[in-house]
Chain A
Amino acid sequence: MNMQAAPRHTVGTAPQVGQPHTRNDQACHDLSIRVRDLNLWYGQTQALKNLNIDLFEKNVTALIGPSGCGKSTFLRCLNRMNDLIPSVRIEGLVEMDGRDVNATKMDEVALRRRVGMVFQKPNPFPKSIYENIAYAPRMHDLVSRKAEQDELVEKALRDAGLWNEVKDKLHEPGTSLSGGQQQRLCIARAIAVQPDVILMDEPTSALDPISTATIEDLMDKLKQQFTIVTVTHNMQQAARVADYTAFFHLGEIVEYNDTKTMFSNPATKKAEDYITGRYG
């Protein structure tokens, strides 16, 4: 086994570029997003180098690695949130549903409609709890009648495990909730538009341990319906919730494996050092 993965080959001696070295047998293996030779620059600085990775449908994939290794930047490539930064330049292929999402022809709004996102800090809109969720589906014409809308709000809140806590105060501002509740509200908001993929950018880093556990349980449930890609600093969290784990280092994917293998028997020295806490 090649311990120092060559820059162009992310998974050492992996049989096919971008695929995990070993596969989780219980998981469903339909391809959701295929990334090939992705490079990204902030001005002159290269932040992502030749990334190749396949993300599988209805799985949780965790992206781990030390700070500044590019995992959040990579996450934002998947729904083109990097477009908001003027100095960013992207090369390479991010393919979803047979389409290159970076193509100029690709409508980034349509992309984000199918690839939702939950952020590090909960960011509910300055609206009521109900409106926080109903707003986007209404704009997307997913609901036409008030009754449908009510139903959708309830379903999203139930799926996010928040219904019982807020059902009596749906018209209070979303910002009145606790941090953990706000984050679940943001998850409910994301799933209400029925995306295919949900990106989570360190969704629990601003939360207390109990809220974190709730959200981890939630991720486990949500993968029945959605493909989830999550960035986390917390290795135990990756070990608990993820089916696959990719280890990032200095803008490269050093190792990509099913989670069990990654944590029990990492293929690379760097990943092993990181997982065992030598740095990070």
Chain B
Amino acid sequence: MQTDQLLALFSGVLLLLGLIAFFLGRAKAARVRAGGTAMFAQPDQYAWFAVLTTAGPAILVGGLSAFLMLLLGAEIPPLYLLAGSLAVAALGLAVGVRQVKPDFHARQAIERVIRWILVGAALISIFTTFGILFSIIFEALRFFQMHSFWDFITGTVWNPGASFLAAAGRADEGASAAQFGSVPLFAGTFMITAIAMLVAIPVGLLAAIYMAEFAPKRVRTLAKPTLEVLAGIPTVVYGFFAAITVAPLIVDLAGVFGLDASFNNAVAPGVVMGIMIIPFISSLSDDVINSVPDSMRQGSLALGMTKGETIRDVVIPAALPGIISASLLAVSRALGETMIVVMAAGMRPNLTANPLEDMTTVTVRIVAALTGDLEFESAETLSAFALGLVLFAVTLTLNLVSVLMIRRFREKYRVNNL
């Protein structure tokens, strides 16, 4: 039998048993109550308790064995498993119905179970983080068994070219040995991130200053959500915009100055990424500037400072931790951004300081390594995980620093809405 057929059978029988448990439990409780005995819980609660004792252990047994089969390769014939877990369900039914007694706290028992289910749900987010961490670390370690960590960190040539041959046991047929020096990838990533920040930070911060300090209330309530539309546009759309519209524009513009630009230049994805990030900086900065206490502004104005001086010398310095925090989040966002660079930046690892040349990024290489029909065991595929590990470490650090800074700001001015 197919797995899904088994699954359907299992669920079907379990559902039936559950229904039986519910009605048996309720009927028994109702009978006891009708007999004039006071009970600790409602009949429905006893019924639900019976359902729980029926389905809970059976699902647990089924899930656990499936997990064992996958994880440890244990050989359990599926039919035995089915029969076993259904037997557990039947046993649970019997126990559950037996427990319908006047002095049994069915409601409390149910609520204990519910509580554990809620805890389980809350733990899933932790499992996700560990899942990401372990899946990346595990594969990355396999990569570092093949290629030295030091070469990966310091090497300036990224040329996975022939690695798939090595994986196929035909290493000597490759023209040159594969090289995994990640420096050019990180150089490209930082270049594009720097360009994005050059666009996003001044525009975002100034827009936030206008919204928080100068704009009439109506303009502000309109402008903020409008800007946030920029953040809601899917990145694949920005990628298309960068590749089709902005990149040729940059090439033409460079041509005007007599410069030679590649169609995969770093400026186009950088600028478009910057546009995407503007609302991240402007929204958070606007909130932060707004929560700088008004007494600061009044203190400065009362000394005969102009509004501009007040903003520049008092408000912005006071809001600085929050603004830096927003910028760090934006940097983290830019480093991990994938689609814009996949579509608009180059594929060629290129160590250069000229943003008009094509260069590639970490995320582009991750995508390149994992698409197409590559052997999962090859060094190139695994290199994606090594790159992912570095990306994870860098963005995690930036996020944590950012959280700490905003927390410091919050404590300083006792604001809760950030």
> Is residue A260 contacting chain B, with contact meaning CB distance below 8 A?
no
A79 and B302: CB pair below 8 A? yes
> Is residue B299 contacting chain A, with contact meaning CB distance below 8 A?
yes
A136 and B301: CB pair below 8 A? no
Mask of B117-161 contacts with A, CB within 8 angstroms, 1/0: 000000000000000000000000000000000000000000000
Q: Which residues of A contact B299 (CB under 8 A)?
A: 119, 123-125, 186, 189
With contact pairs A119-B295, A139-B309 given, residues A125 and B314 touching in the complex (Cβ less than 8 Å): yes
Q: Which residues of A contact B255 (CB under 8 A)?
A: none
A84 and B302: CB pair below 8 A? no
> Is residue A222 contacting chain B, with contact meaning CB distance below 8 A?
no
B332 to chain A, nearest CB (A): 26
Contacts across chains A and B counted by CB atoms under 8 Å? 65
With contact pairs A123-B293, A125-B314, A135-B313 given, residues A189 and B303 touching in the complex (Cβ less than 8 Å): yes
A223 to chain B, nearest CB (A): 19
B304 and A193: CB pair below 8 A? yes
Complex alpha-carbon distance, A164 and B304, angstroms:
28
B301 and A84: CB pair below 8 A? yes
> Is residue B176 contacting chain A, with contact meaning CB distance below 8 A?
no
Interface residues of B in 281-308 (CB under 8 A from A): 293, 295-306
A121 and B301: CB pair below 8 A? no
The segment from A50-58, A109-117, A236-244 found at the interface with B is: A109-117
Complex alpha-carbon distance, A248 and B318, angstroms:
37
Give the number of residues in A that approach B within 8 Å (Cβ atoms).
27
Contact of B298 among A84, A110, A190 (CB under 8 A): A84
With contact pairs A121-B295, A126-B317 given, residues A110 and B304 touching in the complex (Cβ less than 8 Å): yes
Which secondary structure dominates chain B's binding surface?
A: helix
A23 to chain B, nearest CB (A): 30
With contact pairs A125-B314, A127-B317, A139-B309 given, residues A190 and B303 touching in the complex (Cβ less than 8 Å): yes
> Is residue A81 contacting chain B, with contact meaning CB distance below 8 A?
yes
Q: Which residues of A contact B309 (CB under 8 A)?
A: 139
B304 and A117: CB pair below 8 A? no
Among residues of B, the one whose C-beta sits closest to the C-beta of A124 is B299
Complex alpha-carbon distance, A117 and B303, angstroms:
7
Among residues of B, the one whose C-beta sits closest to the C-beta of A136 is B303
Interface residues of B in 206-257 (CB under 8 A from A): none
Complex alpha-carbon distance, A34 and B364, angstroms:
72
B268 to chain A, nearest CB (A): 40
Q: Which residues of A contact B298 (CB under 8 A)?
A: 81, 84, 117, 119, 123
Interface residues of A in 163-201 (CB under 8 A from B): 186, 189-190, 193, 199
Interface residues of A in 25-81 (CB under 8 A from B): 79, 81
Complex alpha-carbon distance, A46 and B67, angstroms:
75
> Is residue A140 contacting chain B, with contact meaning CB distance below 8 A?
yes
Complex alpha-carbon distance, A126 and B321, angstroms:
12
Complex alpha-carbon distance, A114 and B318, angstroms:
26
Complex alpha-carbon distance, A78 and B318, angstroms:
28
A206 to chain B, nearest CB (A): 11
Among residues of A, the one whose C-beta sits closest to the C-beta of B319 is A126
A125 and B296: CB pair below 8 A? yes
Q: Which residues of B contact A126 (CB under 8 A)?
A: 296, 314, 317-318
B313 and A123: CB pair below 8 A? no
Residues of A in contact with B (beta carbons under 8 Å apart): 79, 81, 84, 109-114, 116-117, 119, 121, 123-127, 135-136, 139-140, 186, 189-190, 193, 199
Give the top 6 A-B pairs by smallest Cβ distance, nearest first.
A113-B304, A117-B302, A123-B295, A136-B303, A123-B299, A112-B304
Give 14 CB contacts A-B under 8 Å.
A84-B301, A109-B306, A111-B304, A112-B301, A113-B304, A114-B304, A119-B298, A125-B313, A127-B317, A136-B303, A189-B299, A189-B303, A190-B303, A193-B303
Residues of B in contact with A (beta carbons under 8 Å apart): 293, 295-306, 309, 313-314, 317-318
